[in-house]
Structure 1
Amino acid sequence: MTSIAPLSRIPETEIESLLDRAFGADRHGRTAYRLRAGTRWMPELSFAALDDAGRMVGLIQCWPVRLENEPLVMVGPVAVEPDLQQKGTGRALMDAMLAAADASDLPGADALMMIGDPEYYGRFWGFSADATAGWIIDGPVERRRLLARLRGGRTVGAHGAIRPRIEALVG
């Protein structure tokens, strides 16, 4: 049985090690890394999945980004130990993050974006590419995989560039 805990309780070295195992050490060149360059993950929306022994077996991180001047939150990576994938850990992490985002008044928590499988993230959590067709990002991506989930009537611009929200580091 896994439990969900704040990712801020986990040493950074353990986080990086799990990300390497899940995605490979060459993951830093991916488009998602460019979109959040220079920012820190958001502790309020980032979680770890722990096994019964307290060992981290999965994680989800969220990052402050922006569409022009509109704050958004970028979801991902969602990483699970390779030998434990397809057992519901990633889904539990997404559920925990979405519950936190839905209860949050953090800038951008009502406008989540991610690069992911539209069938999976759409079916379970309502992410879609409907709002993202005119978004520009730094790096290659299949347009159908650039997804957004807007809460409470939030709208976002139909056109513009997604960039890191560096000002989130101040304060």
Structure 2
Amino acid sequence: MVELLPLSACDPGAIENLLDAAFGTDRKSRTAYLLRDGTACMPALSFGLLSSTHLIGSIQCWPVLIEASDGDSAAMVLVGPVAVAPELQGLGHGQALMQAMVDAAMLEGNPPMVMIGDAEYYGRFGFSAAETAGWNLPGPFEQNRLLLRNEGDYILPLTGMIGPDIGD
């Protein structure tokens, strides 16, 4: 039996071990980590999947901003990492985590969400690269993998830099 829990109820060490297994121990050098710098994951949108007492999957969401050159900015949610234990990938656990996050986001006002990922896979959850061509990140990335989900039809800058939303 698999149980969905708030990520805050999961052991932080188990989360780190899962992330290392899913993405490698060099994962913190990736651009997505620059987007999370100085922020804490958003508890209402972050979940873990447990099978008996073992963490087999997790999803984390983070506050980010897109800042346009004219000074305008808009708050968004950075989705990821979405991690599933390598030996259990392809069994629908990632889809369950994404659906739980999307359902929770709808209760939180359906904020605009951005992620770095595969449009073919994440398109089923409303993510697309159609509106991100003018956006930039603070490190290397493939433009076609910068995806947006804006089901709430928020007005977002056409161009700008995405970075962590560390608040005031």
- Relative to the length of structure 1, the TM-score reads 0.92
Which of 102, 105, 108 aligns to 2:106? It is 102
Is residue 32 from structure 1 mapped to residue 46 from structure 2 by the alignment? no
2:5 maps to which residue?
5
Q: Which amino acid letter does the alignment assign opposite residue 79 of structure 1?
A: A
Identity of aligned residues (%): 51
Which SS does the other structure have where 1:48 is aligned? strand
Contact 1:102 1:151 in 2 (8 A): no
For these two proteins, the number of residue pairs brought into alignment is 163
Contact 1:113 1:147 in 2 (8 A): yes
Which SS does the other structure have where 1:34 is aligned? helix
Aligned-partner Cα distance in 2 for 1:93–1:63: 15
2:122 maps to which residue?
121
Q: Which amino acid letter does the alignment assign opposite residue 63 of structure 2?
A: P
1:93 maps to which residue?
97
Is residue 130 from structure 1 mapped to residue 134 from structure 2 by the alignment? no
Contact 2:126 2:151 in 1 (8 A): no
For 1:12-44, what per-residue CA distance to the aligned partner results, in whole angstroms no more than 9, with x for missing partners? Answer: 111111101111110000011111111111111
Q: How much has 1:119 moved relative to structure 2?
A: 0.8
Which SS does the other structure have where 2:26 is aligned? helix
Q: Unmatched 5+ residue regions in structure 2?
A: 68-72
Is residue 70 from structure 1 mapped to residue 42 from structure 2 by the alignment? no
Runs of 4+ more than 3 Å apart? none
Aligned-partner Cα distance in 2 for 1:82–1:38: 28
Q: Unmatched 5+ residue regions in structure 1?
A: none
Is residue 140 from structure 1 mapped to residue 144 from structure 2 by the alignment? no
1:14 maps to which residue?
14
Q: Which amino acid letter does the alignment assign opposite residue 134 of structure 1?
A: G
Is residue 60 from structure 1 mapped to residue 59 from structure 2 by the alignment? yes
Is residue 79 from structure 1 mapped to residue 83 from structure 2 by the alignment? yes
2:70 maps to which residue?
none
Contact 2:111 2:152 in 1 (8 A): yes
Aligned-partner Cα distance in 1 for 2:120–2:54: 30
Q: Which amino acid letter does the alignment assign opposite residue 103 of structure 1?
A: L
Is residue 112 from structure 1 mapped to residue 116 from structure 2 by the alignment? no
Q: How much has 1:153 moved relative to structure 2?
A: 2.1
- Cα RMSD of the aligned pairs, angstroms, is 1.1
Q: How much has 1:136 moved relative to structure 2?
A: 1.2
Q: How much has 1:115 moved relative to structure 2?
A: 0.1
